[in-house]
Amino acid sequence: MAPELEFYPLADKPEFLEQLATWNHNQWGYFRPNETIQFSRNLFTERLNRDHLPITYVALLNGQPVGMFSLITDIYEMGYPNTPMLNNVYVDKQHRKKGIGKAMVAHAEQVASELGFENIFLFTGEKSLNKFYKSIQWEKTGSGKFLGDHDIWFFEKNIAPAPISRPR
Ligand SMILES: CC(C)(COP(=O)(O)OP(=O)(O)OC[C@H]1O[C@@H](n2cnc3c(N)ncnc32)[C@H](O)[C@@H]1OP(=O)(O)O)[C@@H](O)C(=O)NCCC(=O)NCCS
């Protein structure tokens, strides 16, 4: 049987909150040197929503957590007051390069669209990810700094449904 990748709001799978907090802390904790894992636990607890931002999704492969993403408001005041930000895109190391990242971002776009948004943005501190996001039709729109001196790059995507073309 083919492995099945499924996406759930973390609110429906709270038993995986600790795993997500651990991934988050290990991957991005260095941005705030004094940060504890409790910071990440609190972050994901705030995101236990299903129908409004902030919201976190967990990706399950055969029932086991392999990745996560969040859709949040512009809490860092990057100039996108009405646009959801794709945040914490993460695939467990042993499951990378198998298409899960692309599938997760596609699902995030779908969720944002179903919530009524027509655009979505993100920033990344990984220059190497330019290729990843470009390959899934995100546009690089600028660069900046995060928490002092970390270089970041901004990406945006229009997710408005395509207009239905009618025969003339
Ligand atoms: C970025 C990340 C989510 C990608 O997940 P993934 O499941 O490996 O991605 P996919 O398998 O869908 O890869 C899609 C494409 O992007 C490429 N790619 C993936 N990660 C890449 C990286 N770090 N650098 C360059 N290219 C990358 C893949 O080679 C693949 O290219 P292909 O379609 O030409 O083969 C994963 O590497 C990760 O969790 N990284 C650590 C956290 C992180 O940096 N998150 C992004 C925050 S903005």
Which atom of ligand 1 is nearest the CA belonging to 122? Answer: 48
pLDDT tens-digit profile of 81-139? 999 999 999 999 999 999 999 999 999 999 999 999 999 999 999 989 989 999 999 99
How many angstroms does the Cα of residue 97 sit away from the middle of ligand 1? 6
Sequence-distant (≥ 6) Cβ neighbours of residue 60 within 8 angstroms = 5, 6, 7, 8, 13, 66
What CATH architecture does domain 5-120 belong to?
Answer: 3-Layer(aba) Sandwich (3.40)
Question: Would you say 5 and 12 are in contact if contact means Cβ atoms under 8 Å apart?
Answer: no
> Model's pTM, two decimal places?
0.93
pLDDT at 33: 83
Choose the residue to mutate in 72, 89, 97, 100 for probing ligand 1, maximizing ligand atoms within 8 Å of C-beta.
Answer: 97
Integer CA distances (angstroms), 87 to 4, 123, 162, in order:
24, 8, 25
Given a cut of 90, is residue 157 above it in pLDDT? yes
